[in-house]
Amino acid sequence: MAHEFTTSYLKDAIDLFRYYKRLGEQAMEQCPEEGLFGVLDAESNSIAITVKHLAGNMRSRWTDFLTTDGEKPDRNRDTEFEAPPKTRAELLALWEAGWKQVFAALEPLTDADLTRRVLIRTEPHSVMQAIQRQLAHYAYHVGQIVYLGKHFAGEKWTALTVPRRKSAEFNANAASGKTSQR
């Protein structure tokens, strides 16, 4: 992701959400089909389960974001960790639906909204705190998706950020304006 100087918290937050969305997508693209549903051990989640959980969280947190508690009464978090989607297409449809909720809630916001009060599990948050909370949560899970994608892709994996042993080359390119990543 090209870094863009901004003094807008909302622009930066939305750009970061888009960055993590793309990072997860790039990892899932490289992951073989069976890897999307594979687990490392009995206590681990697959990429598919992680996506199902993220989509459930996104629907709950961002639906009527400014007016209702971010933990919707019809959300059953425990079931997000059961019965994963069966195909790559179903998985990606869940992923897209979740992110659609995120951006539909964030894009209309203005700086004046940042200090408004919203609830998550009855706890008061400023809009800015709620955004930060979700940004951290999604980055955490996208990191898991990338880790698993890399594991299951094996030698076919192509680095999503600065490749190993390429920092000097990357830094030289960045200094010359050829590349920039967040």
Confidence at residue 105, expressed as pLDDT on a 0 to 100 scale: 98
- The β-bridge partners of 118 are 125
Q: What is the pLDDT of residues 61-96, one digit of tens each?
A: 999 999 999 999 999 999 999 999 999 999 999 999
Confidence at residue 165, expressed as pLDDT on a 0 to 100 scale: 73
Confidence at residue 179, expressed as pLDDT on a 0 to 100 scale: 56
Confidence at residue 7, expressed as pLDDT on a 0 to 100 scale: 84
Model pTM greater than 0.75? yes
5 confidence band (pLDDT: 50, 70, 90): confident
The total number of residues shown for the chain amounts to 182
**Is 80 exceeded by the pLDDT of residue 159?**
yes
Confidence at residue 125, expressed as pLDDT on a 0 to 100 scale: 98
41-49 CB contacts, 8 Å cutoff, 24+ apart: 45/81, 45/144, 46/84, 46/148, 47/91, 47/145, 47/148, 47/149, 48/84, 48/85, 48/91, 49/80, 49/81, 49/84
The CA-CA-CA angle for residues 126, 24, 160, to 5°, reads 115
Average pLDDT estimate for 7-20: 96
Of the two residues 76 and 174, the one the predictor is more confident about is 76
Q: What percent of the chain has pLDDT over 70?
A: 91
What are the domain boundaries of the chain?
Answer: 11-170
**Is 70 exceeded by the pLDDT of residue 108?**
yes
For residue 168, give both structure tokens: 């000097």
Confidence at residue 173, expressed as pLDDT on a 0 to 100 scale: 64
Architecture of domain 11-170: Up-down Bundle (1.20)
- Separation between Cα atoms, residue 149 and residue 138, nearest integer Å: 16
Write b or e for each residue in 103-115: b if 16 or more Cβ atoms lie within 10 A of its Cβ, otherwise e. Answer: eebbeebeeebbe
